[in-house]
Amino acid sequence: MEKVIKVKYFTDKIDKLEYIGEKSDWIDLRASEDIELKKGEFKLIPLGVAIKLPKGYEAHIVPRSSTYKNFGIIQTNGIGIVDNSYCGNNDMWRMPVIALRDTKVCINDRICQFRIFETQPKLIFEEVKRLDDIDRGGFGSTGKC
């Protein structure tokens, strides 16, 4: 089922949003300004879009697989979550990064990607004294002989 999503572009210098070819349901996001970073420096890279997500959905923003190789930056929070309340006229999406080497990101460079997911349903937590399922061996035990 298709959903219509309103997108505001803050510049005409970046390509419009589109799916990554025929091979993925992720959508590339691009730097909307030239950004220079020194090793160890933190910046919020503007992505040039504000998006009105449908009610009950959130966006997950992650680096592209080539982002570190091409730019020497990593996303500081691992994954960015944008909920559907972040949809005002000036709520431009940004990517928080730290540089692991001196680098430059140019306007329209593809640096991250996103897709939307349904938000988690409301959960009710029931406290119990015991969980009756079989123990798997504790944290880090998968794959051990």
> What φ, ψ does residue 70 adopt, rounded to 5°?
-80, -35
Residues 46, 96 contacting (CB under 8 angstroms): no
Active site residue 135: no
* Among 60, 91, 66, CA closest to 78: 60
- Alpha-helix runs per DSSP H in the chain: 67-71
- Catalytic residue (choose from 28, 83, 102, 133): 83
Residues 6+ apart with CB under 8 A from 109: 30, 31, 70, 71
Compute the Cα dihedral for 57, 17, 8, 79 and give only its sign.
positive
Tell me which residues are annotated as active site.
83
